[in-house]
Amino acid sequence: MARPRTYERGEVLDKAMSLFWRLGYEGAHLAALVEHTGLNRFSLYKEFGGKAGLYEAALERFLGYLLGQYREILTRQPLGLENIEAVLRSLQYGSEYYGCFMINTLTQRDTVPEGAYGKALAAGEEIEALYAGNLANALARGQIADGSNVSGLGKMLQTLDQGLHIQGLAGATDAQKDRVISAVMAGLRV
C-alpha cells in the first residue's frame, strides 16, 4: 500500500521556485532543494522525476502567475497606451529583487532544461502579442502615429520589458526605471 502524500504540491513548487529564482538552475543543488522544499529525495523523484522536472513545474507555476498579471492589465478595455504604461510601471525592484524567473530562464538557456526554456520563450511571445494588440488599438484610436509598425513596436516593448528586468537585477533603481518608461511612452505618443 502506498503511503499518503504528506506535502502540498503548490507549497513545494513555491519553495522550489524561490530557490531556483535566487540561485538559478545550476546553483540550486539537489540537497538544497530537498532541504528547502521539505521533500525527501524519493518524493522529489516520484513527484517530479528529478531536479529538471521540479524546475519545469516551478517555472510553469510562475508563468501562470506572471501571464495572469499581464493578461489582467493588457486586456483592459479600451486597449491602448494606458495599459502598456500600466504594465511597465507595475514592475517594482525592491531590495531583494532577483529578476524575473522567466527572463532568468531565458538567459540560462544552456543550463536549464530544454522544456523550461521553450515554455519561457512561449510566454515571452504571448506577452509580445499582448503588447501588439494594445498597439493596434492605440493606432486605431490615434494614440500613435499613422503607419506605425505595430508588430515591430510590440517586439520593442517586449524587449524593453525584459531589459527592465535585467536592469533591476543589475542594480538599477525604480527612479531609473521610471525615467526609461517615461521616455518610451513619450516616444510612442502622437
SS (H, E, C) 65-102: HHHHHHHHHHCCCCCCHHHHHHHHHCCCCCCCCCCCHH
Task: Please tell me whether residue 146 adopts helix, strand or coil conformation.
Answer: coil
Give, in words, the CATH class of 9-188: mainly alpha
pLDDT of residue 49: 96
How far is residue 154 from each of residues 84, 128, 145, 165, measured CA to CA in Å? 10, 6, 14, 17
Cα distance between residue 161 and residue 37, in whole Å: 31
Which residues does 22 contact at the CB level (< 8 Å), separation at least 6? 98
Sequential pLDDT tens for the chain (190 residues): 555 566 899 999 999 999 999 999 999 999 999 999 999 999 999 999 999 999 999 999 999 999 999 999 999 999 999 999 999 999 988 777 888 999 999 999 999 999 999 999 999 999 999 999 999 999 999 999 999 999 999 999 999 999 999 999 899 999 999 999 999 999 999 8
Half-sphere exposure for 137 (CA within 13 Å, toward CB): 16
Type of residue at 6: T
Which residues does 120 contact at the CB level (< 8 Å), separation at least 6? 59, 63, 102, 103, 105, 106
Q: Where are the domains of the chain?
A: 9-188
Q: Which of 108, 118, 74 is nearest to 100 (CA)?
A: 108
